[in-house]
Amino acid sequence: MSGSAKVALPRPPWRCYAVGDIHGRLDLLDRLLALIARDHAKAGGGPAELVFLGDYVDRGPASAGVVERLATLAADLPRALKPVFLRGNHEALMLDFLAHGRRAEAWLNNGGGATLASYGVAIDEDADKASLAATARRFRAVLPASHRAFLEGLALHHSVGPYLFVHAGLRPGRALAEQDEEDLIWIRGPFLDASEPFEKFVVHGHTISAAPDLRANRLGLDTGAFCTGCLTAAILDKKGLRFLDTGYEAAIPWLR
């Protein structure tokens, strides 16, 4: 675990599992869900939340499968385990491409081609604007309505007790009610460098670290699943903080 291991976390009024960035790794998602189900049953199966921090699509090979799994997850979970799904910047890029065909370059440069491929939509890497518009039309035609409804229904943040769950982070110095959507799903430097406490302790994804990144004011859970094979979940309950993960297949390339 990076950062400070001596942080005294606030005790939540409930049990919560928070899951980091999945990025098209359905294999890892299924393995982590099995670990969570086992832990939840071992703890007695009482009321708990399962919060997904966003970035379900892109980069990995099975974005379509991940969206299908999450969109239907509530029916597969014990009634006491409530899922909560947050929006990441990759879902925002995907939805923008679907709705308007805008920011196509940004989406493709961030792994959007892998998502298109998972839905059976081919794309030319050197495509011009007209070709990208045609690709967007083909994508809209094959994307299941249930997948689009799931993506459009994602929340920007989730707050319970002393904790705030969000994809990327918060703009320091602003109240939660004044936060900008772009910051909630995109921010890095100002948030990651902040040492002052926020309104609540922040649990987030978005920025990859070699291990869960625990600081006095935040906890980062993106361990680069798409390239490391390690998908991580934090367990927050009255006993403190623990982690579940799928193990590492490889180091993060730029940390080698």
Q: Residue 3: what pLDDT?
A: 60
**Count: domains in the chain:** 1
pLDDT in tens, 56-107: 999 999 999 999 999 999 999 999 999 999 999 999 999 999 987 777 888 9
Domain that holds residue 57: 18-171+203-249
pLDDT band at 124 (very low <50, low <70, confident <90, very high): confident
More confidently predicted of 127 and 158:
158
For residue 189, is it within any domain? Answer: no
190: Cβ–Cβ under 8 A, 6 or more apart, which residues? Answer: 171, 172
For residue 7, is it within any domain? Answer: no
For residue 167, is it within any domain? Answer: yes
More confidently predicted of 169 and 252:
169
Q: How far is CA 190 from each of CA 13, 76, 106, 187, 196, rounded to the nearest angstrom?
A: 30, 39, 22, 7, 11
Does residue 192 carry a pLDDT above 60? yes
Report the chain's C-alpha Rg in angstroms. Answer: 18
For residue 195, is it within any domain? Answer: no
For residue 241, is it within any domain? Answer: yes
Determine whether 171 is exposed, middle or buried from the number of CB atoms within 10 Å of its CB (0-12, 13-18, 19+).
middle
Which of 201, 131, 196 shows the shortest CA–CA distance to 159? Answer: 201
For residue 5, is it within any domain? Answer: no
Which of 106, 88, 55 shows the shortest CA–CA distance to 224? Answer: 55
Tokens of 8: 């005294």
For residue 139, is it within any domain? Answer: yes
Instruction: Specify the CATH number for the domain of residue 163.
Output: 3.60.21
Q: What is the mean pLDDT of the chain?
A: 93
For residue 133, is it within any domain? Answer: yes
pTM: 0.95
Q: 25 near 231, Cβ under 8 Å?
A: yes
43: Cβ–Cβ under 8 A, 6 or more apart, which residues? Answer: 15, 237
